[in-house]
Protein backbone atom coordinates (compact mmCIF):
# COMPACT_ATOMS: atom_id res chain seq x y z
CA UNK A 1 0.00 0.00 0.00
CA UNK A 2 1.38 3.41 -0.94
CA UNK A 3 1.99 5.92 1.83
CA UNK A 4 0.58 9.43 1.77
CA UNK A 5 4.08 10.77 1.12
CA UNK A 6 4.48 8.51 -1.92
CA UNK A 7 1.08 9.53 -3.24
CA UNK A 8 1.94 13.21 -2.85
CA UNK A 9 5.09 12.68 -4.96
CA UNK A 10 3.30 10.76 -7.71
CA UNK A 11 2.59 13.94 -9.66
CA UNK A 12 0.41 17.03 -9.70
CA UNK A 13 -3.27 16.56 -8.91
CA UNK A 14 -6.30 18.77 -9.40
CA UNK A 15 -9.42 19.28 -7.28
CA UNK A 16 -12.59 17.55 -8.53
CA UNK A 17 -16.12 17.13 -7.20
CA UNK A 18 -18.25 13.98 -7.54
CA UNK A 19 -22.06 14.42 -7.39
CA UNK A 20 -24.01 11.98 -5.20
CA UNK A 21 -27.60 11.73 -4.02
CA UNK A 22 -27.95 13.26 -0.57
CA UNK A 23 -30.81 10.89 0.31
CA UNK A 24 -32.30 8.15 -1.90
CA UNK A 25 -35.71 8.66 -0.26
CA UNK A 26 -36.03 12.42 -0.83
CA UNK A 27 -39.47 12.02 -2.41
CA UNK A 28 -41.03 10.86 0.88
CA UNK A 29 -38.94 12.42 3.64
CA UNK A 30 -41.18 15.48 4.13
CA UNK A 31 -44.61 13.78 4.14
CA UNK A 32 -45.52 13.94 7.81
CA UNK A 33 -48.99 14.93 9.10
CA UNK A 34 -49.02 18.53 10.29
CA UNK A 35 -50.24 18.63 13.90
CA UNK A 36 -51.61 21.99 15.01
CA UNK A 37 -51.62 21.44 18.79
CA UNK A 38 -48.30 19.68 19.40
CA UNK A 39 -48.37 20.49 23.11
CA UNK A 40 -51.74 18.81 23.69
CA UNK A 41 -50.82 15.70 21.68
CA UNK A 42 -47.47 15.39 23.46
CA UNK A 43 -49.15 15.66 26.86
CA UNK A 44 -51.75 13.02 25.96
CA UNK A 45 -49.06 10.64 24.71
CA UNK A 46 -46.90 11.23 27.78
CA UNK A 47 -49.72 10.77 30.31
CA UNK A 48 -51.62 7.90 28.70
CA UNK A 49 -49.04 6.04 26.60
CA UNK A 50 -45.41 6.36 27.68
CA UNK A 51 -46.04 6.84 31.42
CA UNK A 52 -48.16 3.64 31.81
CA UNK A 53 -45.62 1.66 29.78
CA UNK A 54 -42.74 2.99 31.88
CA UNK A 55 -44.57 2.19 35.13
CA UNK A 56 -45.29 -1.36 34.02
CA UNK A 57 -41.63 -1.82 33.07
CA UNK A 58 -40.44 -0.50 36.46
CA UNK A 59 -42.83 -2.83 38.30
CA UNK A 60 -41.98 -5.71 35.94
CA UNK A 61 -45.63 -6.09 35.08
CA UNK A 62 -47.37 -6.73 31.79
CA UNK A 63 -48.04 -3.60 29.76
CA UNK A 64 -51.63 -2.29 30.09
CA UNK A 65 -52.03 -2.31 26.28
CA UNK A 66 -50.33 -3.89 23.28
CA UNK A 67 -47.28 -1.94 22.13
CA UNK A 68 -44.14 -2.44 20.08
CA UNK A 69 -40.86 -0.54 20.23
CA UNK A 70 -38.03 -0.35 17.74
CA UNK A 71 -37.85 0.18 14.00
CA UNK A 72 -37.50 -3.47 12.94
CA UNK A 73 -40.39 -4.77 15.06
CA UNK A 74 -42.69 -2.00 13.89
CA UNK A 75 -41.81 -2.45 10.21
CA UNK A 76 -42.50 -6.17 10.52
CA UNK A 77 -45.92 -5.46 12.05
CA UNK A 78 -46.83 -2.92 9.36
CA UNK A 79 -45.76 -5.22 6.54
CA UNK A 80 -47.44 -8.34 7.97
CA UNK A 81 -50.07 -7.33 10.55
CA UNK A 82 -51.72 -10.23 12.39
CA UNK A 83 -55.24 -11.12 11.35
CA UNK A 84 -57.74 -9.78 12.06
CA UNK A 85 -56.02 -6.40 11.66
CA UNK A 86 -56.49 -3.66 14.23
CA UNK A 87 -55.84 0.06 13.79
CA UNK A 88 -52.54 1.30 15.22
CA UNK A 89 -51.00 4.53 16.45
CA UNK A 90 -47.41 5.01 15.31
CA UNK A 91 -45.59 7.54 17.49
CA UNK A 92 -42.33 8.80 15.99
CA UNK A 93 -39.76 11.19 17.45
CA UNK A 94 -38.82 12.39 13.98
CA UNK A 95 -37.07 15.49 15.36
CA UNK A 96 -34.78 13.33 17.52
CA UNK A 97 -33.99 10.42 15.18
CA UNK A 98 -30.75 11.06 13.30
CA UNK A 99 -31.28 8.64 10.42
CA UNK A 100 -33.12 10.39 7.58
CA UNK A 101 -33.26 7.16 5.60
CA UNK A 102 -35.18 5.37 8.38
CA UNK A 103 -37.56 8.28 8.83
CA UNK A 104 -38.22 8.68 5.11
CA UNK A 105 -39.63 5.14 4.88
CA UNK A 106 -42.26 5.64 7.59
CA UNK A 107 -44.90 7.66 5.66
CA UNK A 108 -44.83 5.12 2.83
CA UNK A 109 -45.16 2.16 5.21
CA UNK A 110 -48.02 3.88 7.01
CA UNK A 111 -49.94 4.36 3.76
CA UNK A 112 -49.42 0.90 2.22
CA UNK A 113 -49.94 -1.16 5.38
CA UNK A 114 -53.04 -3.37 5.53
CA UNK A 115 -53.85 -1.93 8.95
CA UNK A 116 -55.07 1.63 9.50
CA UNK A 117 -52.14 3.71 10.74
CA UNK A 118 -52.43 7.03 12.57
CA UNK A 119 -48.99 8.58 12.24
CA UNK A 120 -48.11 10.88 15.14
CA UNK A 121 -44.95 12.99 14.87
CA UNK A 122 -43.79 14.12 18.31
CA UNK A 123 -41.92 17.34 19.17
CA UNK A 124 -38.19 17.60 19.69
CA UNK A 125 -36.97 16.21 23.01
CA UNK A 126 -39.88 13.81 23.50
CA UNK A 127 -37.59 10.84 22.90
CA UNK A 128 -36.58 10.99 26.58
CA UNK A 129 -40.05 9.64 27.44
CA UNK A 130 -39.43 6.64 25.20
CA UNK A 131 -36.24 5.80 27.10
CA UNK A 132 -38.23 4.79 30.17
CA UNK A 133 -40.43 2.45 28.11
CA UNK A 134 -37.77 0.50 26.24
CA UNK A 135 -34.07 1.30 25.76
CA UNK A 136 -34.18 -0.14 22.22
CA UNK A 137 -36.99 2.05 20.89
CA UNK A 138 -35.00 3.75 18.05
CA UNK A 139 -37.43 6.68 18.40
CA UNK A 140 -40.44 4.57 17.31
CA UNK A 141 -43.40 3.33 19.36
CA UNK A 142 -46.47 1.53 17.99
CA UNK A 143 -49.66 1.06 20.01
CA UNK A 144 -52.33 -1.34 18.78
CA UNK A 145 -55.76 0.25 19.04
CA UNK A 146 -57.73 -2.72 20.35
CA UNK A 147 -59.98 -3.20 23.38
CA UNK A 148 -57.02 -2.80 25.75
CA UNK A 149 -56.40 0.80 24.72
CA UNK A 150 -58.52 3.62 26.18
CA UNK A 151 -61.31 4.56 23.71
CA UNK A 152 -61.40 8.21 24.80
CA UNK A 153 -57.64 8.62 24.40
CA UNK A 154 -57.75 7.01 20.96
CA UNK A 155 -60.55 9.38 19.91
CA UNK A 156 -58.69 12.43 21.22
CA UNK A 157 -55.52 11.48 19.34
CA UNK A 158 -57.38 10.96 16.07
CA UNK A 159 -59.19 14.24 16.55
CA UNK A 160 -55.89 16.14 16.78
CA UNK A 161 -53.84 14.25 14.20
CA UNK A 162 -54.96 14.91 10.60
CA UNK A 163 -54.93 12.29 7.89
CA UNK A 164 -52.33 12.97 5.17
CA UNK A 165 -54.00 14.37 2.06
CA UNK A 166 -51.17 13.69 -0.44
CA UNK A 167 -50.20 10.22 -1.55
CA UNK A 168 -46.43 9.93 -1.02
CA UNK A 169 -45.84 8.32 -4.41
CA UNK A 170 -47.62 11.20 -6.18
CA UNK A 171 -45.70 13.97 -4.42
CA UNK A 172 -42.62 15.13 -6.31
CA UNK A 173 -39.68 16.93 -4.81
CA UNK A 174 -36.40 17.46 -6.71
CA UNK A 175 -33.65 15.16 -5.48
CA UNK A 176 -30.96 16.86 -3.42
CA UNK A 177 -27.49 16.48 -4.87
CA UNK A 178 -24.34 16.76 -2.76
CA UNK A 179 -20.78 17.12 -3.99
CA UNK A 180 -17.89 15.11 -2.55
CA UNK A 181 -14.45 16.69 -2.88
CA UNK A 182 -11.75 14.54 -4.41
CA UNK A 183 -8.57 14.85 -6.50
CA UNK A 184 -7.44 13.37 -9.77
CA UNK A 185 -4.01 13.30 -11.49
CA UNK A 186 -3.30 16.07 -13.95
CA UNK A 187 -2.79 14.56 -17.37
CA UNK A 188 0.33 15.82 -19.16
CA UNK A 189 0.11 16.19 -22.92
CA UNK A 190 1.82 13.34 -24.68
CA UNK A 191 2.65 11.47 -21.47
CA UNK A 192 0.37 8.68 -20.26
CA UNK A 193 -0.66 8.73 -16.61
CA UNK A 194 1.10 5.88 -14.77
CA UNK A 195 -1.23 3.20 -13.50
CA UNK A 196 -1.43 2.82 -9.73
CA UNK A 197 -0.45 -0.57 -8.39
Nearest to 177 by CA among 17, 14, 36, 43: 17
Least confident of 53-62, 76-85, 112-121, 179-188: 179-188
Q: What is the pLDDT of residue 41?
A: 94
Regarding the domain delimited by 38-170, which CATH topology (the fold level of the hierarchy) does it fall under? 60s Ribosomal Protein L30; Chain: A; (3.30.1330)
Q: What is the mean pLDDT of residues 126-154?
A: 94
Question: For 31-72, what is each residue's pLDDT tens digit?
Answer: 778 888 889 999 999 999 999 999 999 999 999 999 999 999
Q: What is the pLDDT of residue 26?
A: 47
Chain centroid offset of residue 42 CA:
18
- DSSP code of residue 46: I
What sections of the chain are H helices per DSSP?
4-8, 38-45, 51-58, 71-79, 100-112, 127-131, 151-160
Q: What is the pLDDT of residue 55?
A: 95
- Sign, CA dihedral 18-31-125-75, equals negative
pTM of the predicted model as reported, rounded to 2 decimal places? 0.70
pLDDT range class, residue 148, cuts 50, 70, 90: very high
Least confident of 2-6, 61-65, 92-96, 177-181: 2-6
Amino acid sequence: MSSLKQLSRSGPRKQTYTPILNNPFTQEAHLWPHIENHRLVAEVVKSHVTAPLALARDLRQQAPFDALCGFNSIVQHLENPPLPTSPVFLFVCNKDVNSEILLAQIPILARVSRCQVTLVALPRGFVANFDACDPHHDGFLLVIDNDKFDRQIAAKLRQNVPEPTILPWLQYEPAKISLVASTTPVRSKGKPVPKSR
